[in-house]
Amino acid sequence: MKISLNDVSFGYNGRHVLKNVNMEFETGKIYIVVGKNGSGKTTLLKVVSGLLEAEGTILIDGEPADPLMLRRNVGYVFQNPSSQIIGATVEEDVAFSLEILGIDRDEMQRRIKRVLELVGLSGLEKEDPLNLSGGQKQRLAIASMLARDTHFLAMDEPLSMLDPPSQREISKVIEDLKREGKGIIIATHELEYLEDFDVVLHMRDGTIDFCGSWEAFMDKGFEDVEVPFKWKLWKKFGKESKWEVEDADTFDER
Ligand SMILES: Nc1ncnc2c1ncn2[C@@H]1O[C@H](COP(=O)(O)OP(=O)(O)OP(=O)(O)O)[C@@H](O)[C@H]1O
């Protein structure tokens, strides 16, 4: 599936914070959206997810799509997972996101089991979400969206509230979802742990001023994004090599 944005703009109270954006998102790929605070990342994700209605044209596989159609195809995972968690138990929380879809009980149980397995929360079905760690809450928020089985997921800073081990774990979950064929759009400042991503988008002042590979992104150099040391290693030694460099400060990039 492909979602195309043609000259899409959005304004809060008449002030445009997305300006004539043209972009295509495809399933089976991970898109990383970077840019400084206020550049429009969250707004872009909310427009693609149908949570905000924008000006311009949005197409799904070439057909005009309204916000409702976008909501059916793109799940949005909020920046703060706690704001999304409403169930008294882990399984109930996932069930809530399915109830509005009118799915029968057996199918619901199947989906709950599957998504909790996928995000590594099996065994915690009866747990109160409030007792979960930050990483587990983030997994639950992802699981609840996943259960809706949308083709795309838009995730706003899914790694920002996590410690490095949890960032690594959630990155793996996200990469597994890509292998399942989902299209994933992630707004993030944390570039360290995701490895298997496809496209980097850079936003500046409501526009996408770069869209391409991480190599091209590094070549261009953006002053407002700190490129992870790992990318420099990839560039020097190849992405597949597993080089360990002990002293990052003295590493020679050339
Ligand atoms: N509900 C709102 N009402 C008015 N202005 C808003 C609202 N939400 C965001 N904005 C403004 O829109 C612009 C883009 O915000 P957006 O949240 O999309 O940026 P962002 O790149 O996601 O930032 P961050 O990295 O801080 O999350 C900012 O100038 C912001 O102040």
194 vs 159: CA distance, rounded Å: 10
Q: What is the pTM of this model?
A: 0.90
From 41, 159, 190, the mutation candidate for ligand 1 (largest count of ligand atoms within 8 A of CB) is: 41
Residue 240 in any domain: the answer is no
Q: Where are the alpha helices (DSSP H) in the chain?
A: 41-48, 67-73, 90-99, 105-118, 134-147, 164-179, 214-220, 229-237
Residue 109 in any domain: the answer is yes
From 43, 51, 205, the mutation candidate for ligand 1 (largest count of ligand atoms within 8 A of CB) is: 43
143 vs 241: CA distance, rounded Å: 32
Q: Which residues are CB-contacts of 182 (< 8 A; sequence separation ≥ 6)?
A: 27, 28, 150, 151, 152, 153
| Tens of pLDDT, residues 7-39 | 999 999 989 999 999 999 999 999 999 999 999
ipTM (interface predicted TM): 0.96
At 99 the pLDDT is 82
Tokens of 208: 């996408």
Residue 247 in any domain: the answer is no
At 163 the pLDDT is 82
Considering 91, 127, 157, 246, which one is annotated as catalytic? 157
Question: Is 157 annotated in the active site?
Answer: yes
Report the nearest-CA residue for atom 31 of ligand 1. 38
Residue 246 in any domain: the answer is no
- Here the CATH number for the domain that contains residue 229 is 3.40.50.300
Q: How far is the CA of 84 from the centre of ligand 1 (A)?
A: 19
Q: How far is the CA of 203 from the centre of ligand 1 (A)?
A: 12
At 101 the pLDDT is 78
At 26 the pLDDT is 98
Residue 33 in any domain: the answer is yes
At 243 the pLDDT is 64
At 124 the pLDDT is 96
152 vs 145: CA distance, rounded Å: 10
Query: Is residue 123 a contact partner of residue 115, using CB atoms and an 8 Å limit?
Result: no
Residue 245 in any domain: the answer is no
Q: Determine if ligand 1 sits within 6 Å of the CB of residue 40.
A: yes
Residue 251 in any domain: the answer is no
Low-confidence ranges of the chain (pLDDT < 50): none
Q: How far is the CA of 13 from the centre of ligand 1 (A)?
A: 12
Residue 250 in any domain: the answer is no
Q: Which domain holds residue 16?
A: 1-235
Quick one: which of 104, 65, 91, 69 has its CA closest to 143?
Answer: 91
- Per the structure, how many domains does the chain have? 1
